[in-house]
Amino acid sequence: MASRDDEFSEYVGQRRTQLRRIAYLLCGDVHKAEDLVQTALMKLYVAWPRVQRAGNVDAYVRRILVNSGIDESRRPWRREAPGLDGLDEVPVPPDPVEDRSAVLAALATLPLGQRRVVVLRHFLGMSIDETAADLHCSPGTVKSQNARALARLTELLTPQFGTVGGQDR
């Protein structure tokens, strides 16, 4: 039992920051992202021996994050407005990157399905088939959601960033 806990703790120590980033990109809220990560880690701990034997722990955790995000978005109490204005601390990105807030704001305007596809395909670099498997949909759905999302992001971000080399970004 001690080695199981040690192995799990080591995995969490290595991946927790990445899991938070993925969760934040999926849901767009720091507090919800932390809840998603906690839920994913609880489910992972229960299944740790089986998942570790099977091999691809990262894929299993990604699937938990996506599915938990879907479950949470369907719950009625999640539709309530968050806390009191001005009382929640706004997280400061650890390494500020130019134009990050504009990209995150544009990403937040996408419908949930399109946002998930963009995060899995472009942030995590997953293939169409891997994304389809994680989202439990067809590759065609991934392609169409991706195309719509990229068109919308281009539409939103082109006025801010202009054109590159005579072409819209």
pLDDT for position 100: 75
For 160-163, the CB contacts below 8 A with 24+ separation are 160/99, 160/102, 161/99, 161/102
Give the residue among 111, 144, 142, 147 at the shortest CA–CA distance from 127: 142
CB 25 within 8 A of CB 19: no
CA distance 128 to 121: 7
CA distance 90 to 31: 11
| Residue 167, φ and ψ in degrees, nearest 5 | -120, 150
Q: What is the pLDDT of residues 133-161, one digit of tens each?
A: 988 899 999 999 999 999 999 888 887 66
Q: What is the CA radius of gyration of the chain?
A: 18
Q: Is the pLDDT of residue 117 over 90?
A: yes
CA distances from 51 to 11, 14, 59, 131 (A): 12, 17, 10, 19
CA distance 59 to 66: 11
Q: What is the pLDDT of residues 50-109, one digit of tens each?
A: 988 888 898 899 888 888 887 777 766 555 555 556 666 655 554 445 567 788 888 989
Q: What is the pLDDT of residues 10-50, one digit of tens each?
A: 999 999 999 999 899 888 888 888 999 999 999 999 999 89
Q: Read off the pLDDT band of 164 (50, 70, 90).
A: very low
Query: Degrees (nearest 5) of the Cα angle 18, 23, 29?
Result: 125
